Structure 1
């Protein structure tokens, strides 16, 4: 009885992995992939957004740094 349970448990362990990869394969076939032009546009948007955020963060850092330096000079 115990050996039957072990065999069933082993079969059940293999099925989820196999089922998982089959599911992934099926989902990848359903994906609507972007065209080359869309992909280029998306990459450009990400790069531009990253540069803008980086600039805002850098400017904010510089402004706050100067404010704290001025406060440090005033307070002593």
Structure 2
């Protein structure tokens, strides 16, 4: 029989691929954060004010809508159940 391949597992390589320590991982993480923060396109002051006003106006509209809907539903339930004295 010609050239049979060995079924033995190869010898394990030395553990040179050790996980870096906590400090090294922390430094690498902070370097990556710094790199990403340099790529961020920050809004201008005018854009920031406009976005803030839009969010506040949206919150007021949604809040009033929910309050009105709650009032209508609760009044409807009171009238439907004849709970009013």
TM tier, shorter chain? 0.7 to 0.9
Separation in 2 of the partners of 1:20 and 1:63? 53
- Within 5 Å, give how 1:1-76 maps onto structure 2: 11-73=20-82
Separation in 2 of the partners of 1:33 and 1:49? 22
Query: How many aligned residue pairs are there?
Result: 67
TM-score normalised to structure 2 length: 0.70
Q: CA RMSD in A?
A: 1.8
Q: Which runs of 5+ in 2 are unaligned?
A: 1-14
Largest Rg, 1 or 2 = 2
